Structure 1
């Protein structure tokens, strides 16, 4: 008799398979409209918790870079689901960070402008974050998390009375996290790097600045966790991968019109 959790895994594997803009197969089962609602709600909460930047130069630069990147999405990644409009906000936060959410929301912290020293380095980060949205990585991660939780719930439900159930569930929880969630997250980061590199180059930002950006990030962040236990590639791995893709990105850049967003 087939166990219920094996049946559930089979159903998840057979339903809703799709491809990302790079051609990678993915399982993203959450409706895109629902993901957009999640993104908008999260963005509203962030705006309530963090003040918007009053730095006119920072706002102007971020808006300019983001708008040039967004304008190239239809040509670079045709067929990608796009929001009706994008909202771009600079937050008065010293943490060097940026993000993009389903529903067309982009946030950039002022602190990132202390690490991204020019337009192209800023484009590398924002392009990377936009790529997460275009490739539906949030949907894929949520699908994985819901699948893992459903399987663990069913195993617990159908293993009642087993003295070792709790230990099994704990082991499966760790195994699922290390064996499913983390590797996929690293794959997402690498895919977003590749897509972001192509997007920035086609938008007129010199892709060679992407590697310098991550060197700056390495200098700013200090020690990192081991790559095996991290959702992000370490900086050296990321720089090496970007270098391998650089020739193709430079060809895109040479076909574009260079952009300057300096006030």
Structure 2
């Protein structure tokens, strides 16, 4: 059983040759071109399946905030313009994808009180792209599948009793011990990178803390942090509060955007 696991460990060691901007080691098995292709395809599919908002005031607001954020993103992250789409959906969500794609659901605009809080949302989502989290997530899943296959082969050659139960336990161990914490690390990193990015873009960085206080009011009864792919709201608030003095040194008060949130966000069409 040891040989397949040693081989898997060696593969991880060979690929963990890069670090994120926060100094976290990264395992990335896919090229930027592959990720861009997947991101563009996913975005086109999303646009076909989800209604797109046609409300001018809502689109102007989101586009204004997104443009203010993306102009401060290095060209090495994405060449050319970013495509920003407002989806007509009650979901409290937003996302950014490799290949310069940003999606904002109208539902999240009812949680964000102003341009600064939306700047925190878009900064966070773009932070995922800046730090190559999609590549890491896909790579982690690939390595997980390889590890399970190696362990299955090893158990199949051994005299271990209750092999099915042992494999089920290994699957849970990978999920709660590796994959979920890995995702929480991504979210925490995107929070910090996003707070810095919004500050450089002229948005008040303390708004990210107020945003997650708003989110906390909506997420009562959320699962325990160790069973979630996201940090708890309390954890996020504490981390952002701790990082705030550093983000404030980047805050460009002389270049604040003037993105006006509409007084009414139209409800999603049935």
TM class, shorter-length: over 0.9
**Aligned counterparts of 1:102 and 1:153: Cα–Cα separation in 2:** 29
Structure 2 portions without partners, runs of 5+: 262-270
**For each residue in 1:43-92, what CA deviation from the matched residue of structure 2 results, as whole angstroms up to 9, or x when unmatched?**
11111111110111110011111111111122xxxx85324331100000
**Are the aligned partners of 1:69 and 1:199 in contact in 2 as well (CA < 8 Å)?**
yes
CA displacement at 1:23 relative to structure 2: 2.4
CA displacement at 1:158 relative to structure 2: 3.5
Q: 1:248 to 1:158 in 2, by over 3 A?
A: closer
CA displacement at 1:9 relative to structure 2: 2.0
- Counterpart of 1:183 (choices 165, 181, 184) is 181
The answer to whether the aligner puts 1:146 opposite 2:133 as a matched pair is no
CA displacement at 1:40 relative to structure 2: 1.0
SS at match of 2:156: coil
Matches for 1:205-216 after TM superposition, within 5 Å: 205-216=203-214
When the two structures are aligned, how many residues end up with a matched partner? 259
CA RMSD of aligned residues (A): 1.7
Comparing 8-17 and 28-37, the one that deviates more:
8-17
**Aligned counterparts of 1:80 and 1:215: Cα–Cα separation in 2:** 33
User: What TM-score, normalized by structure 1, do the two folds share?
Assistant: 0.93
Partner of 1:136: 132
Partner of 2:268: none
**Are the aligned partners of 1:119 and 1:205 in contact in 2 as well (CA < 8 Å)?**
yes
Partner of 2:230: 232
Structure 1 portions without partners, runs of 5+: none
**Aligned counterparts of 2:52 and 2:163: Cα–Cα separation in 1:** 49
**For each residue in 1:190-210, what CA deviation from the matched residue of structure 2 results, as whole angstroms up to 9, or x when unmatched?**
100000000001100011111
**Are the aligned partners of 2:184 and 2:230 in contact in 1 as well (CA < 8 Å)?**
yes
**Aligned counterparts of 1:168 and 1:258: Cα–Cα separation in 2:** 57
User: What TM-score, normalized by structure 2, do the two folds share?
Assistant: 0.91
CA displacement at 1:228 relative to structure 2: 1.2
**Aligned counterparts of 1:94 and 1:81: Cα–Cα separation in 2:** 30
**Are the aligned partners of 1:62 and 1:90 in contact in 2 as well (CA < 8 Å)?**
yes
**For each residue in 1:199-252, what CA deviation from the matched residue of structure 2 results, as whole angstroms up to 9, or x when unmatched?**
001100011111111111111232211011111111111111111111111221
Comparing 216-225 and 154-163, the one that deviates more:
154-163
Partner of 2:266: none
